[in-house]
Each structure stands twice: as structure tokens, then as C-alpha cells.
Copies of this chain bind each other. A is one copy, B any other.
Amino acid sequence: MTARIFSGEREVASVDPGNRGLAYGDGLFETMRVDSGSVPMWPRHLARLQQGAQRLGIAVPGIGFLEARMAEMTAGIGAGVLKLLLTRGEGGRGYAPPAGQAATWLLATDPLPRFQARGLRLHWCETRLAIQPALAGIKHCNRLEQVLARAECGRAGCDEGVMRDTAGNVACATGANLLVLRNGAWSTPPVLDCGVAGVLRGWLLEQGMLEVAAMLPAQLESADALALCNAVRGILPVAMLGEQAWPPHPAVAQLQAKLALAYPMYSESMEVA
């Protein structure tokens, strides 16, 4: 990981030990796909970041300054990942957020993770997502539920996992949104109670390729096909969820092809037939 850290529009050497992101997860983040030195999904990431910052009352650094630093970070990167972490900054007495505090934020680049050609094996996570409308949809830094659920997936020998909320509804994967094919149409669970409004989920919804629908575990298991989507990996087919298996489905390949047409960077995550 290569990182640069800023306080407002001033570069700093390190993260202050009194940083509120560190103390309370008091921040937001975006994990973005870099393609040929730029971030094609940036406008969507920025919109979500701004929405999250407004909900939490965190100052967003000047967009021009931020974009200039991003361009410096991504220059020369053919394919990779750029992470933006925006924290409320330092200090305050306990939980009370200090007034007029400049945000502390960082940019970090990482290599693109390896993709596997085969469909994903998913675990039914025991860890549930709490119902919290005040934090649902935004990509905030309170992610212990996802950390615990992802640890379960590893112990189960699975690639990822499906999380339910505490009311029993299907919510999302630990680090991706769910795409569920039923009766020839793709749907994804709502993100009003929990979960993250994924950038790629948003694009698919806007294109009319996807609709929002509440769903129970049985509806997931009886689906015609499942896939996951996120902004780093694109659309990934699911081969197994718990004991349930699915053969490759042409509708997944079609969805991947439509995405690759708009964003060619995602073509490499397409399943090898």
C-alpha cells in the first residue's frame, strides 16, 4: 500500500493518534477501481461520499484539491485500486464532534486483487446486520459486523458470504451487493435499514437492469442465478450458497457483457466460459 495523508488541504506525515476515525470509526471511505491512470466511477463514488459526509456532518476537502491528489496517485497505474478514507479529524471531548474541524483524509493505492474464473462459493453468515436507518446506505467506517462475517467466510472455506439483517431479511454480501435472478429479472435488496448503496448497484439500477426488492433467504436459495457486484471487481457469478449450487447462467454473462460495454475495465472479471 502506498499512502498519502492530509489534514484539510495540508499534507501531513502520519495519522494523529487522536484521530477520530481511529477512535470511533468516525469516517467514510470509498474503494475505487483505477483504470489507465483514472477512476471511471469517480462521480458516483464522490456522490456517495458527499451524501455520507452530509449525514455524518463531516467536512469534505475541496474537490479540486482532492481530485488533483487522486490524479497524482493514480498516474501510471494501468489497473489497480484507490482507497479514499475521510475521517472527522482529531480531537473533541469524547464522542462530541468538535466544531469546524478540518477532516483528516488519506489516499492509498493497492494492486488489483486477483480474480478467479470459477463462480464464487458463498457462506450463510451467522453474523447479522443491525437495523440502523441512520447509517444505512452510506459507506461509513463502522464495519465490525462485516469483519466478523468475513472471518466466518474464511473459516467456512468460502470466498464471500450472504448477510441477513436482524429481522431475517437478506441484505448483502460482506463486501458486495447481491444480484438475484428470478423469473428473468434481476433484483437486489433495499439498503434503507442496513447495507451499503454500492456504486455499481446504483449504475445497474439507473440502467434499468436491476430493481430493488426485499427478499427472504428461501427466495435467494430458489433463485435462477446469483451474482455479486462491487466497484472494484465488477459482476461476479455465484456458484454456491451454503448447500445450494448453480451452474453458470447466460443471464449473468449478459449482465457482465453490458457492464463491460460501458466500462471495459470490468471485462477481465467476466467468467471464463
- Partner-B contacts on A (CB < 8 A): 1, 3, 5, 13-15, 17-27, 29, 31, 56-57, 85, 87-88, 93-97, 106, 108, 113, 127-128, 130-132, 134-135, 140-151, 153-154, 166, 174-175
Residues of B within 8 A of A150 (CB): 94-97
Pair B174/A143 contact, Cβ less than 8 Å: no
* Docked pose: A28 CA to B128 CA in angstroms: 20
- In the complex, chain B residues whose CB is within 8 Å of the CB of A5: 17
* Distance from A81 Cβ to chain B, minimum over Cβ atoms (Å): 10
Contact indicator A87/B22 (Cβ below 8 Å): yes
A122 CB to nearest B CB, Å: 14
Whether A22 lies near B24 (C-beta < 8 A) is no
Distance of A64 Cα from B138 Cα, bound (Å): 41
Across the interface, name the chain B residue whose C-beta is closest to A136. B130
Inter-chain CA distance A20–B22, complex, in Å, is 8
Contact A175–B95 (Cβ < 8 Å): yes
Closest residue to A107 on the B side, CB-wise? B17
Q: List 19 A-B contacts (CB under 8 A).
A: A3-B17, A18-B108, A19-B22, A22-B87, A23-B29, A23-B85, A24-B25, A24-B144, A26-B143, A31-B94, A56-B144, A57-B148, A96-B150, A130-B130, A130-B132, A130-B135, A131-B166, A134-B145, A135-B145
A135 surroundings in chain B (CB, below 8 A): 130, 144-145
Does A13 contact B15, Cβ atoms closer than 8 Å? no
Docked-complex contact B25 and A143, CB < 8 angstroms: yes
The distance in angstroms between the C-alpha atoms of A143 and B143, with both chains bound, is 10
A96 x B145 contact (CB < 8 A): no
Given contacts A1-B17, A25-B25, A94-B150, 10 further A-B pairs with CB under 8 A are A14-B14, A15-B17, A17-B106, A24-B146, A31-B94, A56-B144, A96-B153, A96-B154, A130-B131, A140-B144
Of B14, B17, B141, B174, the contact of A25 (CB 8 Å cutoff): B141
- Determine whether the beta carbon of A24 is less than 8 Å from that of B97: no
Q: How far is the CA of A27 from the CA of B143 in the complex (A)?
A: 10
**A145 CB contacts on chain B under 8 angstroms:** 132, 134-135
